[in-house]
Structure 1
Amino acid sequence: MIRLDNLTKVFDTPKGAVVAADHINMEVPTGEICILLGPSGCGKTTTLKMINRIVRPTSGKVFIDDEDTSSLDTQTLRRNIGYVIQQIGLFPNMTIEENITIVPKLLGWDKAKYKERARELMRMIALEPDAFLKRYPSELSGGQQQRIGVARALAADPPVMLMDEPFGAIDPINRAVIQDEFLKMQQELKKTIMFVSHDIDEAIKMGDRIAIFRDGHLVQYATPDTLLAAPKDSFVESFLGEDRALKRLNLINVREVVSTNFETVSPRDSLESALQTLDKCGYQHAIVMVNEERQPVGIIPRAVAQVSKGSCHDYAQKVPAVVNVNDDLRKAVSLMLAHDITWLPCVDDEGRLCGHITQRAMTHHLGARFRTQQATAELADPMAEE
């Protein structure tokens, strides 16, 4: 959907020419989010702004859906690209409804259509239309204003969106909420998005692909997993941080690691039968007790089953924690550390037990995935053998 072909920007300064973006070549597939990442002054924002011609390229081309945008006039180009900035940029003298509908009005939409579009978008960003549409930006919190900025960018249903550190000015708690809401919207909308960030954790969470810039050059362009497993050089490695292996936990869902080959006991079972099941399955620590709905309602530790007599119901201990199969491994590790355990029951969205996950399984999975990503990166890099 977005293709940059040798895109270059040279600024003339009193001290001479400064190359802000040097022959940038990259493609963003339809429906994906690409994060532009790098230190200040690396060229990521300049590259973004050349796409909608806020900064005019010195040379090179921008293609959107295979169309050379240099053939389009600037107004037409910009009206077909959603744009969100950190400063939000809402018009203070306009209501929220007027802010959201400004581009549809310019495009000649019917009044009833753009008003309904505003209400639809307000519901999408979890703000009640009747409560907010007639307000002015000054009456909203910073986080609410940022959501309106996103809604305005989506108003004319553009295929492409550009976002310049859109959540950077929001406090961490609201930023995480807005990021999650935006990703939920993206699952439905499938926009093609280029997104400037300075936050590696945000990039890993939000991006399908990440482009690392340095001194106007595109150093590496890859999926988050490949980037973390196989950084191209020492600069990328240092930029990602020494904890890059831990960052990969955010990219893997529990369902990729969960073991579905498991045994349980019921409240009616005897401790003797629980111990026999523990031995048969090779469980070292405990077995999960489930109710008739297959929900985990307790655990029977091996130590209890070995020395006690009676039913599981009478001796079951509280389940220390469970993890949803749709959660990422970072949450699983956090729960294990918090409760000083090495395994967790895994449940589905209805709370039914569907397996368990262990520290050892996560370690093996990460190691295998690491080796695969490194091998793939080496095959894709013609300089790898040299």
Structure 2
Amino acid sequence: MIRLEDLTKTFATPNGLVVAADKVNMEVPTGEICILLGPSGCGKTTALKMINRLIAPTSGRILINGEDTSKLNDIELRRNIGYVIQQIGLFPNMTIEENICVVPKLVGWDMKKAKSRAAELLDLVGLDPRHFLRRYPKELSGGQQQRVGVIRALAADPPVMLMDEPFGAIDPINREIIQDEFLKMQAALKKTIMFVSHDIDEAVKMGDKIAIFRAGKIEQYDSPDRILAHPANAFVADFVGADRTLKRLRLVTAEEVARADAASAARSASVADVRQSLASSGERIAVVIDGDHHPVGFVTADELQGASGRIGDFAHPLPASVPVRADLRAVVSEMFAHDTMWLACTDDNGRYAGVVTQPAVTAALRATYGGANAGAA
């Protein structure tokens, strides 16, 4: 847990004192990611750097897991905090293994344990240890170097991580890949993370909480969904953008809105049985599944009227299907691409897992808006 209490930083300039952080108060629960977001010069990076004392606070307190960090010396404090920056900073004359082992060696790990940790972490971010441990940074792509920079900060298993725009210099395709790998890793490791970003889409995807800064103060600190659905004021509403409803599609998966009990039928099922089942349920469409329970087509109630035989003889190809883990942005994109109001969903093994419909997507978005609006709509 990270707790900031009235954290303040002022800088002396020729024109007088400038307040970079103005009584910042927030708490990041253990195992969560908090994104610090806001325009340039708003104080988010200053707040981050005060946590590991790269910038000394003027006043206020910082507590990590209940311990006041002012009672720790700089070296002791920083050895318990992983720090990742946009510029990465890998040592060019060291192999990837040696880079990852730097901090474990400093804190007294034996080399066998440190090397085992390096291999384990490379595997966590999708880099095969057999191929990457002995390479040098110049032999890796920018995206691969960034992954190594992230796991180097994790090598000595710090309870807290600070990340200052760690993916900002990566191209959009690789950024998505690295973000996904990082979230998988976080799901396993459950670190407490403070993460500076300038990208609202990245914040919505990565954060359990978002703190939106302006002029050294926090304007709103809440879950991404609450911030998008109920911005606290006009500044927050303008900052997150007029398309904030569409941004919320990233926060909900197909699994959360899919109907697992939507009508389905085996290829070998009789038309009469399926027709009766659809009539009883009031549904108009049944998804056709094969012997391995994979969705392979669909039939409509209207087409089955007066027909006989097996369902497989009447099946149309599916327009598309989506994995249950897909977010609703991807689902809606597929719906538009195939001009359809519904899609079959599949589990991790490609088996039929239900149907997601456009009305269900709309209802999911409407659910949060139904609460009392705390600010600008």
Partners of 1:289 and 1:135 lie apart in 2 by 50
Partners of 2:132 and 2:355 lie apart in 1 by 45
Q: What is the correspondence of 1:33-44 to structure 2 with a 5 Å cutoff?
A: 33-44=33-44
Residue by residue, what CA displacement relative to the aligned partner does 1:280-337 show, whole Å, maximum 9, x if unpaired?
32224x3211223332121113453347654322221111112222222112211111
Letter of the aligned partner of 1:321 in structure 2?
A
Using the TM superposition, give the Cα deviation of residue 278 of structure 1 relative to its aligned residue in structure 2, in angstroms: 3.3
Q: What is the correspondence of 1:94-173 to structure 2 with a 5 Å cutoff?
A: 94-173=94-173
Partners of 1:170 and 1:44 lie apart in 2 by 21
Find the residue that maps to 1:101 and give its secondary structure: helix
Check conservation: 2:50, 2:56, Cα contact below 8 A: yes
Check conservation: 1:274, 1:300, Cα contact below 8 A: no
Find the residue that maps to 1:121 and give its secondary structure: helix
Partners of 1:259 and 1:125 lie apart in 2 by 33
Aligned to 2:247: 247
Partners of 1:228 and 1:301 lie apart in 2 by 38
Task: Report whether the alignment pairs 1:321 with 2:328.
Answer: no
| Cα distance change of structure 1 residues 260 and 117 upon mapping to structure 2, 3 Å threshold | closer
Partners of 2:338 and 2:271 lie apart in 1 by 24
Aligned to 2:362: 363
Find the residue that maps to 2:40 and give its secondary structure: coil
Letter of the aligned partner of 1:133 in structure 2?
L
| Cα distance change of structure 1 residues 28 and 135 upon mapping to structure 2, 3 Å threshold | same
Find the residue that maps to 1:226 and give its secondary structure: helix
Task: Report whether the alignment pairs 1:338 with 2:337.
Answer: yes
Identity among equivalent pairs (%):
61
Using the TM superposition, give the Cα deviation of residue 255 of structure 1 relative to its aligned residue in structure 2, in angstroms: 2.1
Check conservation: 2:226, 2:368, Cα contact below 8 A: no
Check conservation: 2:271, 2:309, Cα contact below 8 A: yes
Partners of 2:9 and 2:146 lie apart in 1 by 30
Aligned to 1:10: 10
Partners of 1:35 and 1:365 lie apart in 2 by 24
Letter of the aligned partner of 1:367 in structure 2?
R
Shifted more, 256-265 versus 206-215: the winner is 256-265
Letter of the aligned partner of 1:280 in structure 2?
S
Using the TM superposition, give the Cα deviation of residue 70 of structure 1 relative to its aligned residue in structure 2, in angstroms: 0.7
Letter of the aligned partner of 1:183 in structure 2?
L
Partners of 1:294 and 1:98 lie apart in 2 by 48
Shifted more, 156-165 versus 87-96: the winner is 87-96
Aligned to 2:288: 289
Partners of 2:19 and 2:264 lie apart in 1 by 64
| Cα distance change of structure 1 residues 218 and 288 upon mapping to structure 2, 3 Å threshold | same
Find the residue that maps to 2:370 and give its secondary structure: helix
Using the TM superposition, give the Cα deviation of residue 129 of structure 1 relative to its aligned residue in structure 2, in angstroms: 2.3
Aligned to 1:53: 53
Using the TM superposition, give the Cα deviation of residue 258 of structure 1 relative to its aligned residue in structure 2, in angstroms: 1.6
Q: What is the correspondence of 1:68-107 to structure 2 with a 5 Å cutoff?
A: 68-107=68-107
Using the TM superposition, give the Cα deviation of residue 357 of structure 1 relative to its aligned residue in structure 2, in angstroms: 1.6
Shifted more, 179-188 versus 129-138: the winner is 129-138
Aligned to 2:202: 202
Residue by residue, what CA displacement relative to the aligned partner does 1:39-98 show, whole Å, maximum 9, x if unpaired?
111100000000001111111111111111111111111111000000001122222222
Find the residue that maps to 2:92 and give its secondary structure: coil
Letter of the aligned partner of 1:13 in structure 2?
T
Partners of 1:244 and 1:140 lie apart in 2 by 36
Partners of 2:81 and 2:36 lie apart in 1 by 17
Shifted more, 91-100 versus 226-235: the winner is 91-100
Query: Please, what TM-score do these two structures have when normalized by structure 2?
Result: 0.95
Check conservation: 1:278, 1:302, Cα contact below 8 A: yes
Check conservation: 2:269, 2:310, Cα contact below 8 A: yes
Using the TM superposition, give the Cα deviation of residue 136 of structure 1 relative to its aligned residue in structure 2, in angstroms: 1.9
Partners of 1:95 and 1:106 lie apart in 2 by 17
Letter of the aligned partner of 2:232 in structure 1?
K
Letter of the aligned partner of 2:214 in structure 1?
R
Q: What is the correspondence of 1:214-253 to structure 2 with a 5 Å cutoff?
A: 214-253=214-253
Using the TM superposition, give the Cα deviation of residue 273 of structure 1 relative to its aligned residue in structure 2, in angstroms: 4.5
Mind listing any 5+ residue stretches in structure 2 that lack a counterpart? Answer: none
Aligned to 2:353: 354
Query: Please, what TM-score do these two structures have when normalized by structure 1?
Result: 0.93
